[in-house]
Amino acid sequence: MLPTDAPAPLDLLHLDEAFVVVRKPAGLLSVPGRGPERADCVSARVQAQVPDALTVHRLDMATSGLLLMARGLESQRRLSRLFAERHIAKRYTAVVAGQVAGEVGEVALPLVCDWPNRPRQIVDHRVGKPALTRWQVLARDPERDTTRLALEPVTGRSHQLRVHLQSIGHPIVGDELYAPALWQRAADRLLLHACHLAFAHPFTGAALVFDDAVPF
């Protein structure tokens, strides 16, 4: 039984002998940060419910949505390989500033950490690592001057979606790192949600699909 002062348990959307799919809220770290004040995170809360749960991938603190954790080292190894080999399909929904031209497209810009201003990332054509994001328009809101997008990060660089959208002039609404002040204030959180995961079960090979409703 959890202590009365323990953080609230998270919604476990799937639990079997191999892995856990959890709904991460916006504003919660995926893994512990530095210092005791940053110990509360998804991995710690899930491990309080499922002690053998291990991290496989991460979402930014400001991002909400589906997060996958392995159960045990062998499952972690197999699922990590699926991510590394890009055999796990991920899709996000975002609301971005302005009216995006066209209906589908992609952004291929290399990214690197902006060390003097970390954790910010920047586009750098000299030393940046290749990064590719595909996007599709889901809806437009001319009154609010925003566009709702489906996003597919083909690569998985830190802050990739946020930097790529900023780089084409359409920062994500509510982004405190990359959006202008006006668009930071336009929402009480980053409007980015990991809404879809699809992959093969690490032991049985069965095709699996998980979807989560977008909360904005």
Residue 200, in any domain of the structure = no
Q: Which residues contact 97 (CB under 8 A, 6 or more apart)?
A: 145, 146, 170, 171, 172, 173, 179, 180, 183, 186
| Residue 98 structural domain | 91-192
96: tokens are: 């971005």
Band the pLDDT of 2: cuts 50, 70, 90: very low
Same domain for 75 and 55? yes
Same domain for 95 and 170? yes
User: What's the number of domains the chain is made of?
Assistant: 2
Last residue of a domain, one of 87, 107, 124: 87
6 or 98, greater pLDDT: 98
Same domain for 43 and 133? no
Last residue of a domain, one of 87, 113, 132: 87
Q: What is the mean pLDDT of residues 147-168?
A: 97
Say what the pLDDT of residue 36 is. Answer: 82
Same domain for 109 and 167? yes
In the residue annotation, 60 being an active-site residue is answered as yes
Percent of the chain predicted with pLDDT > 70: 97
Residue 159 maps to which CATH number?
3.30.2350.10
Q: Given 5, 11, 40, 60, which residue is catalytic? A: 60
Say what the pLDDT of residue 127 is. Answer: 96
8: tokens are: 């609230």
Say what the pLDDT of residue 6 is. Answer: 66
Element (H, E) at 211: strand 207-211
Q: What is the pTM of this model?
A: 0.94
Residue 104, in any domain of the structure = yes
The per-residue pLDDT for range 118-149, each reduced to its tens digit, is 899 999 999 999 999 999 999 999 999 999 99
Average pLDDT score, the chain: 95
**Residue 41 and residue 29 in contact, taking contact as beta carbons nearer than 8 Å:** yes
Asked if pLDDT for residue 150 goes beyond 60, the answer is yes
Last residue of a domain, one of 87, 118, 135: 87
Q: What is the mean pLDDT of residues 73-102?
A: 97
Residue 45, in any domain of the structure = yes
The per-residue pLDDT for range 16-44, each reduced to its tens digit, is 999 999 999 999 999 998 888 788 999 99
Say what the pLDDT of residue 76 is. Answer: 98
